[in-house]
Structure 1
Amino acid sequence: MSEFPPPALRQAAEDVASLLRERKETISVAETAAGGLVSAALLSTPGASRIYKGGLTLYTLDSRIAFAGWTQANIDNYDGPTPKLVEGLASHVRVTLKSNYTVGESGTAGPTASGKAKNRQPGYVALAVVGEKGALSKDLDTGLGSDRQANMVAFAIEALKLVKEYISTNESQGGKI
Structure 2
Amino acid sequence: MTPTPRSDEADAAAEAVRRLIAAQRTIAVAESLTGGRVVAALVDTPGASAVVRGGVVAYATPLKSSLLGVDARLLDSRGPVDPAVAAAMAEGARRAAAIDGVSADFGIATTGVAGPDAQGDAPVGLVFVAVADAAGTEVRELRLEGGRQAIRDAATREVLTLLLTRLDAHREG
Give the TM-score taking structure 2 as reference length.
0.88
Deviation string for 1:50-77 (max 9, x for gaps)? Answer: 0100100111023223201244413421
1:89-128 pair list within 5 angstroms: 89-97=89-97, 98-115=103-120, 117=121, 120-128=122-130
Runs of at least 4 residues off by over 3 Å: none
Is 1:48 the counterpart of 2:53? The answer is no
Secondary structure of residue in 2 paired with 1:6: helix
Check conservation: 1:105, 1:127, Cα contact below 8 A: yes
Check conservation: 1:27, 1:51, Cα contact below 8 A: yes
In structure 1, what residue type is equivalent to 2:93? V
Q: Please provide the CA RMSD for this pair.
A: 1.7
Deviation string for 1:29-70 (max 9, x for gaps)? Answer: 011001110000001000111010010011102322320124
Q: Which residue of 1 aligns with 2:37?
A: 37
Q: 1:60 to 1:99 in 2, by over 3 A?
A: same
Query: Which residue of 116, 137, 140 maps to 1:138?
Result: 140
Check conservation: 2:70, 2:92, Cα contact below 8 A: no
Once the two structures are TM-superposed, the CA of residue 5 in structure 1 deviates from its matched residue by 8.4
Identity of matched residues, %: 29
Structure 1 Cα separation of the partners of residues 91 and 139 of structure 2:
12
Structure 2 Cα separation of the partners of residues 88 and 70 of structure 1:
5
Once the two structures are TM-superposed, the CA of residue 81 in structure 1 deviates from its matched residue by 1.2
Q: Which residue of 1 aligns with 2:76?
A: 76
Structure 1 Cα separation of the partners of residues 14 and 107 of structure 2:
16
Secondary structure of residue in 1 paired with 2:164: helix
Moved more, 66-75 or 89-98: 66-75
In structure 1, what residue type is equivalent to 2:109? G
Deviation string for 1:138-160 (max 9, x for gaps)? Answer: 1011222xx11111111111010
Deviation string for 1:124-145 (max 9, x for gaps)? Answer: 110110001111111011222x
Q: 1:79 to 1:62 in 2, by over 3 A?
A: closer
Q: Which residue of 1 aligns with 2:58?
A: 58
Secondary structure of residue in 2 paired with 1:150: helix
Give the TM-score taking structure 1 as reference length.
0.86
Which consecutive unaligned segments of at least 5 residues does structure 1 have? none
